[in-house]
């Protein structure tokens, strides 16, 4: 008997009683869901992935220091204690404010009474989207695994290369963007090549790897005090990283990069230069230059009393005219504030209160037991800042088991320089080693 394909596909009804719908299970979305769940408010949280990802440590997955499960947790597991919270795996592509529904790419829809947009941000290539093929960004676990595989593959390819020029190209890495992600990646790749891999190869010398960090602005870590930026540059250079500021990338290809008027051979480029908010924000009104929707002091979207935006999707303008940065601590505080406020409004009719951000400091790691930390006028650098960075990031991790495992792995790495997650991904990537070298010859 012939069976039509449609007979095998589930016919899901996603029309729950209109409660609160949250798009995105990042730091902001999860905190809203938790607070509403504690209050017993009917809530649906939708995310295109089934896990919550701790993005600040993605670079450690990309550089073989941690495994992906160390920094990710299933969303259903995080929220399973809250019986009023429903989790949906889906990708929202349209917000219909007139019908008060969000529509998924599958064609299904979910009705909402109140909507929370916490869909995060992706990479911005400043109008050069074709560069993404040759310069991957770092926003997801798949990104981190791909970069890790590519980094390790370049060493494997160089070990087999007979041409010294080709070997030098393969061992040349360029990181675009001198913010925290770029600085952390540069330092981690330098330590990986100079310490972890130093004795693993017989033909090449991993310590001779060229790592270049390129920043278009005048200095690294522009959000930090100039003294801390200078310290970060000095520390990276002590690891052998070539820091180039005030230079703009003009083009990126499979084997080369153009900086200014110069073309330079390169084995791998990693993009850490810009972010763009989820395109869903543009469906709600005018956005700022990075695609964030403007919100008022209660986190409500202008012109939509029952739609709210948080985290990287929102432009929250402070009294001094600046907007809040895209940090995990900002998203978490906004999520907790809005979750509690919505619960009180729904259950007892209380008005929403203005959100006030309390900074707990800004930090970035710049290599082994070295970091920078700044909170207002208080500035710390070196080992003490590194310890503060570690404590903050362990505290923010979801789940005790993650905190314990990551702490133990960091301690082991600190004592031995070893990195246990040095796995190359798919067999296709492994086959590419021989194929690439064959084409070169």
* Residues labelled catalytic: 184
Structure tokens at 242: 């070539």
Instruction: Tell which residue, 146, 171, 143, has the closest CA to residue 157.
Output: 171
Q: Is residue 262 classed exposed, middle or buried when 0-12, 13-18 and 19+ CB atoms within 10 A define those classes? A: exposed
Which run of H or E residues covers position 147?
helix 141-160
Q: Angle between the 328-348 and 27-39 helix axes, to the nearest 10 degrees?
A: 30
Q: Is 174 strand, coil or helix?
A: strand
| Torsion, CA 293, CA 297, CA 300, CA 301, rounded to 10 | -30
Is residue 57 a contact partner of residue 405, using CB atoms and an 8 Å limit? no
Residues with Cβ within 8 Å of residue 390, at least 6 apart in sequence: 410
Measured from the Cβ of residue 196, the count of other Cβ atoms closer than 10 Å reads: 20
Is residue 304 a contact partner of residue 97, using CB atoms and an 8 Å limit? yes
Taking the C-alpha atoms of residue 182 and residue 344, their distance in angstroms, rounded to an integer, is 41
């Amino acid at each position: 008997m012939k069976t039509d394909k449609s007979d095998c596909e589930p016919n899901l009804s996603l029309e729950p009683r209109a409660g609160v719908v949250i798009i995105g299970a990042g730091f902001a979305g999860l905190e809203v869901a938790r607070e509403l769940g504690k209050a017993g408010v009917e809530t649906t949280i939708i995310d295109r992935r089934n896990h919550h990802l701790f993005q600040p440590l993605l670079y450690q997955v990309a550089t073989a220091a941690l495994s992906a499960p160390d920094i990710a947790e299933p969303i259903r597991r995080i929220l399973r204690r809250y019986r009023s919270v429903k989790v949906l795996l889906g990708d929202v592509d349209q917000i219909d404010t007139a019908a008060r529904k969000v529509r998924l790419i599958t064609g299904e829809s979910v009705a909402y009474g109140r909507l929370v947009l916490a869909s995060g941000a992706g990479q911005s290539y400043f109008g050069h989207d074709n560069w993404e093929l040759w310069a991957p960004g770092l926003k997801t676990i798949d990104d981190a695994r791909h970069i890790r595989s590519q980094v390790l593959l370049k060493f494997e390819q160089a070990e087999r290369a007979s041409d010294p020029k080709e070997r030098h190209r393969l061992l040349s890495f360029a990181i675009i963007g001198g913010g925290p992600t770029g600085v952390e990646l540069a330092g981690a790749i330098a330590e990986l090549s100079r310490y972890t891999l130093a004795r693993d190869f017989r033909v090449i010398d991993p310590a001779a790897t060229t790592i270049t960090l390129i920043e278009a602005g005048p200095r690294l870590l522009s959000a930090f005090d100039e003294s801390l930026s200078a310290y970060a540059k000095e520390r990276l250079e002590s690891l052998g990283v070539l820091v180039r500021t005030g230079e703009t990338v003009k083009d990126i290809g499979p084997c080369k990069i153009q900086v200014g008027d110069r073309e330079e051979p390169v084995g791998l480029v990693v993009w850490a230069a810009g972010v763009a908010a989820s395109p869903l924000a543009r469906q709600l009104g005018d956005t700022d230059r990075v695609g964030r929707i403007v919100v008022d002091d209660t986190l409500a979207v202008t012109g939509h009393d029952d739609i709210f935006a948080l985290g990287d999707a929102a432009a929250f303008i402070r009294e001094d005219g600046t907007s809040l940065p895209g940090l995990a601590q900002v998203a978490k505080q906004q999520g907790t504030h809005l979750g509690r406020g919505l619960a009180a409004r729904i259950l007892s009719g209380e008005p929403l209160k203005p959100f006030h951000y309390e900074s707990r400091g800004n930090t970035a790691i710049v290599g082994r037991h070295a970091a920078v930390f700044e909170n207002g006028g208080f500035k710390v650098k070196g080992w003490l800042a590194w310890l503060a960075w570690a404590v903050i990031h362990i505290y923010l991790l979801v789940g005790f088991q993650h905190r314990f495992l990551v702490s133990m792995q960091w301690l082991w790495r600190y004592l031995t320089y070893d990195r246990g997650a040095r796995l190359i991904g798919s067999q296709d990537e492994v086959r590419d080693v021989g194929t690439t070298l064959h084409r070169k010859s």
